[in-house]
A and B are shown apart, each in its own frame.
Chain A
Amino acid sequence: MKTGTNINRRRFIKNTTIGIIGLPLLSNTYRNIAPSDKIRVAHIGMGNMGRAHLKWFSGFSDVETVALCDVDKVRLTEKYKLLQEINPNARADTYTDFRHILDRKDIDVITCATPDHWHALIAIMAFQSGKDVYGEKPLSYSVEEGQAMKKSMEYDNSVFQLGTQIHAGENYHRVVEIIQSGILGKIHTVRLWKTGGSPGLGFPPTEIPPDTLDWDMWLGPAPYEEYTPVRCHGSFRHFFDYSGGVFCDFWCHIADIVYMSLNPQGLYSIDTRGERPFNGIADTPRWIEADFKFKDLDLYWTTDPPSVPGAEKMHIGAHFEGVNGSLTCDYNIKIIRIGNEIINDITEVPETIPRSPGHQRNFLDAVRSRKQPESNLAYAREMTLPMQLALISFRLKRKLKWDSLKEQFEGDNAANYLLSRGVYRAPWFLPE
C-alpha cells in the first residue's frame, strides 16, 4: 500500500508465532493501494475502544475489515458477531496473537486498542511489517517507547494517528483560532483538570485465569503477576505496570488543546504532588497535581477543578489565562471572558484552520496520501511527554528538572531510569 519508494528498507516480521519475534528481515512485500482499492484494516484489542474502532472503520465505504485480534476469546467472538451484524458479508479472520496479523501482507492498516503497555511494541512491529497504525491513547507506556516509535515510524515511512478523536472536533479547532488570534493577549498560564482518580480496587486474591484468556500474552512485556480480574479488563489503567491512572488516561484529550493552540516549548521543570489510593492493590494516583514550567508558559494540572469561574461544574477542562482575558473550554464548549464580558465566540476572529473530515477519515486520507494526519506521532509524542514526566515526579515524590533538548532529567539518575520500562519480560523487547 505504501508508495514503494522505500521497498528495500521495508521490513516485516517473519515466523512471528514461534518466538523469533522482532527479527528484522528485509521484505519485498508491500501493497500499493490504488484509488479504487479498499484499505484493508485489522483491529487489535477488542475491548470498548476496539468496539469503537470496529464501528468507526467499518462505516467507511473504502475500508474492508479483514481481521480481528484479542487475547480474550470471549471479546473476540463478541466483536466478530458485532462485525457480522454491521456487515453480514464481512469475512474477517480472528486471531489471539497479533503477530499473525503482522505476518499478513494483504493488510494495510492496524488499529490498536490494547492496554497501554502494548502500544509501542505493536505499533513498531506494525511499522516494520509495512503497516500504518491508528493507535489508542496514551501514545506509549514510557518516554523511551515514544522515542522509539517516532524513530521507527520515520524509518519505515509509516503513517500514525493517535486516537484522540476530540482533536478533530469543531470546538478545539475554533479554540485554536481564538487563542492564536491574540485577542486574549499573550497566554501565560493554562490550567488543566480532570476530576476523579484511581480507586484502590480492594485486595482481591489471585486466581487462575479463565481458559478463554491468554493472560501471559495480555501481560506481554509487563512484569509477570498472578492473575486477578481487576488487573485486567476495564481497570488495568490503575496499575503502573501497565499505565498511569486517570491522569494518564485523560491528559491526551485535554492537553491536546494546549498543544494545538500554543505548542509550548522548552519544558524545564516538573513538580508533582499526589497520593496513591489507600484501599487496594492499585498504585496510580488517587489525586495528582502537577506544575509544569515551559519557556513561555506555566501549565498546571489538578484533580480538583481550579478556582476559576465555572470550572467546578466541569469534570474536565482547560482554562487559558491571557493578558487581556481568559478562555475556559472542554471538548464541546468554550467560555471567553474579556473584561466583564462573557461570550461563547468572537465572531471577528475568522475561520482560518481547515476542519477535520473526522479523526478516522483524516487518518485514512493520510494512509492514501502518505502525508501525516493531524494527530500524528511527532505531535502526539510531544503532547504526551509532560504527562509521562509528571508520573515520574509523582512516583519519586520530588520536583524534577528537565532538559528538553536532550530529553533527560538533570541531576537525577533514578528519574532518568524511569524514562524507560527497563526490563521487558522475555520474549518481548522494544524493537529498534
Chain B
Amino acid sequence: MKEFILINLFATLFFTSCFTQENDSFSPLFNGKDLSKWTLGEEGGFEVIKGELYTSSFGKGNNLFTNNWYCNYVLRLEYMLSDVGNSGVLIRCDPQDPWKTGVEVQLLAPWTPRRDDLHCTGSLYGHVAVANRPDETTGIWHKMEIRCDRNTISVSVDDTITTLASIDTVKTMEDKLLCGAIGLQVNHANIEGQYAKFRNIYIRDLDSEPEYITGGFYEKDSLLRSQAHVAAITLGAKMVEPLAIMMSGENPVAKSGSRQVLFDIVARATAPQSAEKYKNDVAIALKNSANSTSSEITRNYLEWLIGMIGN
C-alpha cells in the first residue's frame, strides 16, 4: 500500500512537470513516412504502413535501432499488439549485443501461459518487475513513456507508472550501458500474421537541457558526472552561465567540475576545426558571465578564458 501511494505521488509530480512545460522539447524519432533516423538489418522485419511502423515476422527479421545514441531522455510512443504480439523497446543498448548491453522494456500480448510481472508489458524484462500491471488489451493503441534519468528508469503505460527502477541497486544491471541506441524488437511469434505497431514516437533528450546537465555536476557517481561534463561541452555556450554559477557556489564537487568543463568548452571552441558559431557564442557567454558574476575568483578565471578564446 505504502509503495502504491509513493508511486502515485511520484506519478503525479512526474506528469505535472512533464505535461506543463516539456512538450516543446520533444522531437519526433519517426516521421510516419520512412525509417530515416533508424537502421534496420538485412532481414528486414519493419515497414511503414499508413503512417505507422509495422513489424511482423515469422522466423526471421531484424530489430530496428536508432542511428543516434542517447543517455538520458524521455521516450514517448504509442503501440498496438495483436493477440500474440511480442515486441519490446530496447534502451541504452549497443545494437551489436543489445540484450547484454542494454535492457528491454517488454511489450507482450497476454497469451498463455500468462507471463509474470518480471516479464510482462512494462517490465524491464528479466531485471525489474512492474509494480502496477498495465492494461494489456490487444488491438487498441496504448501510450508508453520511458524515462531514463541517470540511475533511475521509469516506465508508464497509459499515463500510469508501471515500473520504477533505481538501476544502481539492481544487481543484474550492474554492467549495463548508461548510453546507447534505442531499439524496437521485431515482432516474434510462432503464428503467422501477428504484429506490433508503433506511432507517434517522440524523444526529449535531457542531455541537451542546461538545467538537467547541471544536476549531473552534483552526482556522487563519477561516471554520471563525466556524462554531464560531456553533455555540457557538447552544448557549449548555453552551459557557460550555469557553470559560472556553480563555480561560484559552495559545493566542492560541482565547483571543480564546472571549472574544468569551462576550460574544456573553450578548448573545444578554439580548436582550428571548430564551428565559428560555437566559438562566437561561447565568447559572448563568457563575457556576459564575467560581467554578471559576483565572485572574484570566477571573474578572474572567466577573464583568463576570454583571453584564450579571443586571442
Task: Report which A residues bind B (CB closer than 8 A).
Answer: 203-206, 223-226, 276, 278-281, 283, 395-398, 411-414, 416-418, 422-423
Contacts and interface: CB of A to CB of B under 8 A. Distances in A.
Contacts of B226: 278
A204 B252 contact: yes
B222 A414 contact: no
Given A224-B297, A411-B272, A417-B308, A280 B267 contact: no
Contacts of A223: 297, 300-301, 304
Interface residues of B, number: 26
28 contacts: A204-B252, A224-B296, A278-B225, A278-B226, A279-B222, A280-B256, A281-B252, A281-B256, A395-B263, A395-B267, A397-B264, A397-B268, A411-B272, A412-B272, A413-B270, A414-B267, A414-B270, A414-B309, A416-B311, A417-B307, A417-B308, A417-B311, A422-B304, A422-B307, A422-B308, A423-B300, A423-B303, A423-B304
Interface in B249-306: 252-253, 255-256, 260, 263-264, 266-268, 270-272, 296-297, 300-301, 303-304
CB-based closest 5 A-B pairs: A414-B270, A278-B222, A203-B252, A281-B256, A413-B311
A280 B253 CA distance: 7
A206 B266 CA distance: 27
Contact of B266 (A203, A224, A283, A414): A414
Given A223-B304, A411-B272, A422-B308, 18 more contacts: A203-B253, A203-B256, A205-B252, A206-B252, A224-B296, A225-B297, A276-B260, A280-B256, A283-B256, A396-B267, A396-B270, A397-B267, A412-B270, A412-B272, A413-B270, A414-B308, A422-B307, A423-B307
Contacts of B307: 417, 422-423
Contacts of B300: 223-224, 423
Contacts of A414: 266-267, 270, 308-309, 311
Contacts of A205: 252
Nearest to B270: A414
B73 to A, nearest CB: 24
Nearest to B251: A203
A278 B222 CA distance: 6
Point out which of B297, B300, B308 has the most chain A C-beta atoms below 10 A from its C-beta: B308
Given A205-B252, A417-B308, A396 B271 contact: yes
Interface of B: 222, 225-226, 252-253, 255-256, 260, 263-264, 266-268, 270-272, 296-297, 300-301, 303-304, 307-309, 311
B232 to A, nearest CB: 15
Contacts of B304: 223, 422-423
Given A224-B296, A396-B271, A418 B256 contact: no
Point out which of B256, B263, B268 has the most chain A C-beta atoms below 10 A from its C-beta: B256
Q: Mostly helix, strand, loop or mixed at chain A's interface?
A: loop
Contact of B308 (A206, A224, A283, A418): A418
Contacts of A224: 296-297, 300
A399 to B, nearest CB: 10
A241 B29 CA distance: 45
A223 B271 CA distance: 25
Nearest to A276: B260
Nearest to A410: B272
Contacts of B263: 395
Contacts of B311: 413-414, 416-417
Contacts of A395: 263, 267
Contacts of A423: 300, 303-304, 307
A76 B304 CA distance: 34
B307 to A, nearest CB: 6
Contacts of B270: 396, 412-414
A266 to B, nearest CB: 22
Nearest to B269: A414
A225 B300 CA distance: 11
Nearest to B252: A203
A423 B301 CA distance: 10
A87 to B, nearest CB: 44
Contacts of A225: 297
Contacts of B267: 395-398, 414
A416 B255 CA distance: 27
B260 A283 contact: yes
A395 B226 CA distance: 16
A229 B182 CA distance: 46
Nearest to A281: B256
Nearest to A411: B272
A279 B256 CA distance: 10
B244 to A, nearest CB: 15
Nearest to B273: A398
Contacts of A416: 311
Nearest to B253: A203
Nearest to A275: B226
Contacts of B301: 223
Nearest to A280: B256
Contacts of A278: 222, 225-226
Nearest to B300: A223
Nearest to A225: B297
Contacts of A422: 304, 307-308
Contacts of A417: 307-308, 311
A368 B290 CA distance: 52
